[in-house]
Amino acid sequence: MTASSRWIYAVTFLLAAAGFLLPFWPLTVVGIVLCALSGRWLFAVAVALLFDVAWGAPTGAGHFLLFPFTALALVAGLARLIGGHYFLDKSPQETL
């Protein structure tokens, strides 16, 4: 794990936890989306699943979503995958 990965994991988890403790749930959304958009979508999905289990399913029309934060993390991860294919650096310098 690189140092930048550790920072991203730590910052996004802290953002999500701060959203729970402040309390201000949009901060949790920001943390999950940032984590997924930075490419660490597995961690984002795990954190989102935890919050979905804690907060329960949404009420009203969103009830069919069951796990809205997890769905958001997956959508953000997909956006990163598709967006990265078109917009991110196509000439990585890691390979020799």
Partner 1 sequence: MMTISKRHTQAELRARRTRLVTVACLLLLFVAATLWRAPLSAAVWHILRPVVEARFGSVAPLEAERAAARAALADRDALYEENVDLKARLDRDARVERVLAGVLLRPPATPYDTLVIDAGSVEGVVAGDRVASGGTVLIGRVSEVYAHTSRVVLYSAPGERYDALLRGAIPLIVEGQGGGSMSAQAPAGIMVAVGDSVVLPGIAGGFVAALSHIERTEAESFVTLYMRLPVNLFELRYVEVWKEPRHDSI
Which span sits near partner 1 by CB under 8 A: 5-13, 31-39, 54-62, 78-86? 54-62
Buried residues in 76-85 as b, exposed as e (16+ CB within 10 A):
bbeebeeeee
Instruction: Please identify which residue in 2, 3, 4, 23 interacts with partner 1, judged by CB under 8 A.
Output: 23
Smallest Cα–Cα separation from 89: which of 40, 33, 39, 41?
Answer: 39
Choosing from 8, 11, 34, 46, the residue that interacts with partner 1 (CB under 8 A) is 46
Kindly tell me which residue out of 6, 62, 83, 84 binds partner 1, with binding defined by CB under 8 A. 62
**CB of 32 within 8 A of CB of 68?**
no
Of 91 and 95, nearer to partner 1 (C-beta) is 95
